[in-house]
Chains A and B, each alone.
With several copies, the nearest count.
Chain A
Amino acid sequence: MSLSIHLTSNQRVLIVRLTGDLDHHTASDVRNRIEAELVKDIHTHLVLNLENLQFMDSSGLGVILGRYKQMSSKGGKMYLCSVQPSVFKLMEMSGLFQILPTYQDECSAISACEVAS
């Protein structure tokens, strides 16, 4: 209820748009929805669009890191985009950007995936 998850594709890039709050209660939904899509073996890369994410705590960091490990283990890329100030602060503080690049907008993140392919 408090998080809405929207999945879409751009060629081999799975795009996940999150609206609302990402906490422990909603994190498992994010993991399950993404895994259910990835098992279809259509997508190589993952872009997480956080433009409409209002709130995130360390449970969000956990599910993002989990997806990052999953994509990396299969040789895929994962990027973030459109991170809002409050979420940015949390990510920066916890050093997430040292392993996970973030882009201004969805287009740039998708392009980065294509370059990486």
Chain B
Amino acid sequence: MNSMYRNVMELTFSSLSENEAFARIAVAAFISQLDPSLDELNDIKTVVSEAVTNAIIHGYEEHPEEQVYIRAEIQGTKITIQITDKGIGIDDIGQARQPLFTSKPELERSGMGFTIMENFMDEVTIRSKPGQGTTVLLVKQLKNHPQTMAN
């Protein structure tokens, strides 16, 4: 696989909590082509789970008729993942990024979602407008791994 290699997928699904597992498995399956380490794969599953859960709980306040969008792109060994909702949006992005900040403590949210995304990915960009929705852009450069299976 040379550095010009490019592969794109887009995913849209109902804003239902049962789709959180589906979304992270789908992105992990897409990324698997790059032969990531188990650690890298788990990091990606975790951040996708964080952003999709936020779209469902915060963006759409668990309204099942709404749609969550994911776009994932592979360029060489770089992965770019976008998670988008057309929900309520974020008023104060700086505050939202603070560790332990949550607007829904009554739902036992830990307020660690964005902190985890920042720790596990190389870049985290949040674009949001109140009343219009939120897009979280996640970028990670994978290490190159030797093939582990005899081939």
Contact = CB atoms under 8 A, between A and B. Distances in A.
Q: Do chains A and B touch in the complex (CB under 8 A)?
A: yes
B98 interface: no
Contacts of A21: 21
A24 to B, nearest CB: 4
Contacts of A63: 108
Interface stretch (B31-39, B82-90, B134-142): B31-39
A27 to B, nearest CB: 7
A1 B49 contact: no
B129 to A, nearest CB: 24
Contacts, number: 79
A58 B110 contact: yes
A30 to B, nearest CB: 10
B119 interface: yes
A117 interface: no
A90 B113 CA distance: 11
A110 B18 CA distance: 33
Contact of B115 (A23, A55, A94): A94
A101 to B, nearest CB: 18
A89 B42 CA distance: 10
B149 A31 contact: no
Given A4-B150, A23-B20, A61-B110, 10 more contacts: A1-B149, A6-B150, A55-B42, A57-B113, A58-B50, A58-B110, A58-B111, A62-B110, A90-B46, A94-B116
Interface of B: 17-18, 20-21, 24, 32-33, 35, 38-39, 42, 45-46, 49-50, 53, 56-57, 99, 107-113, 115-116, 119, 147, 149-151
